[in-house]
Amino acid sequence: MSAVPGRPLPSLRVVSGPAPDAALAVVTRAPEPGRVPLGHADEARVSVHDGQPVVEVELADSAPRPGWSGAVDHGLGHRRAGAALARHLRDSRAEGPVTVAVPGALPADRVGDLVIGYLLGARGQDVFAADPAPVVPDLVVEVAAGPGSGDDDEVIVARAVAAAEEEARATAMARDLAGAPSDLKTPEWLVSRMAEALGEAGMRTEVIEGEGLVSGGFGGVLAVGGGSAAGPRVLVARRPGPGPRVLLVGKGITFDTGGISVKPADGMHLMRTDMAGSAAVVAAAAAFCSDGSPGYADVDLTVVVPSAENMLSGSAYRPGDVVTHVGGTTSEVTNTDAEGRMVLADALAHGIAECDPEVVVDVATLTGAMKVALGMRTGAVMGNDDDLADRVAAAGAAAGERWWRLPLPDDLRPAVRSDIADRRQAPTGPGAITAALFLEGFVDGRPWAHLDIAGPARSSEEIDEVGPVATGFATRTLVALLRDLADRPRP
């Protein structure tokens, strides 16, 4: 079976003292008057300083701004500067390494942000093009010698660079999975690639299919996948440990026509990314389980990915159907394009029965309503536990991903009650919230956070460190959240 198509990342290295003679030095400068840098290629340019060629990049190092739970946008200016630098070098087809001095061009506590911007900013998804864009030059981080500097400086910078590279690789993996075309990315292909990645990271994996889905009661997965010639699958991966038990669930819809409640043709090609939630979950779990830091191996981590293709055919499920999920709860189908919550319901119930989690997080490109509410650059957090929601927001702020919490008000709970089944799948009302209220019925009262990434999982342009189409959003947040749960166990 074919590998995940993707482009390589640029190489990185940290040196002490002067960089290689052939390296082009990076210097920062204030933005052009009236312009807010956004990571575009024209925010960098080649110039001459002290008789030597350098590449100047605009840097607006603004202070973090308030969010709903602490400050956000930490390091945004440096991620944008790194992305602008990489895009300028890509477009100019520059060769040879570039070097950035620390301290000097930037402070040690922001080197990781610039590295993430550089590694991800110009890494396109043009893997099937005859003439793909070139990989940008190597980046050399120079720990400058001077008064007060020493071996500790190089160690600190090297750790920051290594952490940033790990986060960038995880994000790139999520982007590659989400960006793969659906003629290649069947449910079988997707869970096989994911199982390989998680197995290499030390997780035990199982793929449930066919009669296993029937006997396991996966009515939602079977209903959604019933219209496709490519049969559905459910991936379950676990790494046991003595510490906190965490369940991550990611929506794995490999293509979404909407089914009988068919989508408009405009934009449907982007539905190859409708499994971006599962890509973020798997990439984050693989990165976390590969990290040998003390205490991280104690986390008892389970990943569940329900994967199906939502197609329109004579065997597709219908509005008005009643579906029985894992555990016996029934759902009245009112819109076949609300398929994500159908498969997530099965996955949540199965995962909770399997691992008895203390923390549950699901991630999904779930609702267009979320995009209306929060736009294309901010993810929605909903849930039943304030501490967990706060941890998600803090993890995202540290990782450079914005989140905003939406409420789950009691007055909307009647909307998900059905007259003919236990729950109504897609009621009227505020769609992002009612979708979360539907899922709440499958988490058994466990501390739970639902992350709707329908907006920021995709981008139509190069901005900040993201680019078209799949962004890998939520990957770095989940890595930071898992680290936080290991470092600060919940009471």
Q: Which residues are catalytic?
A: 263, 341
The contacts of residue 404 (CB under 8 Å, 6+ apart) are 67, 68, 374, 378, 379, 380, 381
**Cα distance between residue 339 and residue 343, in whole Å:** 7
Widest CA span of the chain, in angstroms? 79
| CA pair distance 357, 37, nearest whole angstrom | 43
Residue 314 DSSP code = T
CA 103/CA 160 separation, integer angstroms = 13
Secondary structure of residue 136 in the 3-state scheme: coil
Tokens of 285: 């779990």
The token pair that represents 22 in the structure block? 């052939």
Q: Half-sphere exposure of 251 toward its Cβ, with a 13 Å CA cutoff?
A: 36
Contact 236, 206 (CB under 8 A): yes
Question: Does residue 155 sit in helix, strand or coil?
Answer: helix
Nearest C-alpha neighbor of 114 from the set 96, 124, 97, 102: 102
Q: What is the DSSP string of 256-308?
A: E--TTSPPPSTTGGGGGGTTHHHHHHHHHHHHHHH---TTGGGSEEEEEEEEE
Given the DSSP bridges, would you call strands 245-250 and 300-310 parallel, antiparallel or unpaired? parallel
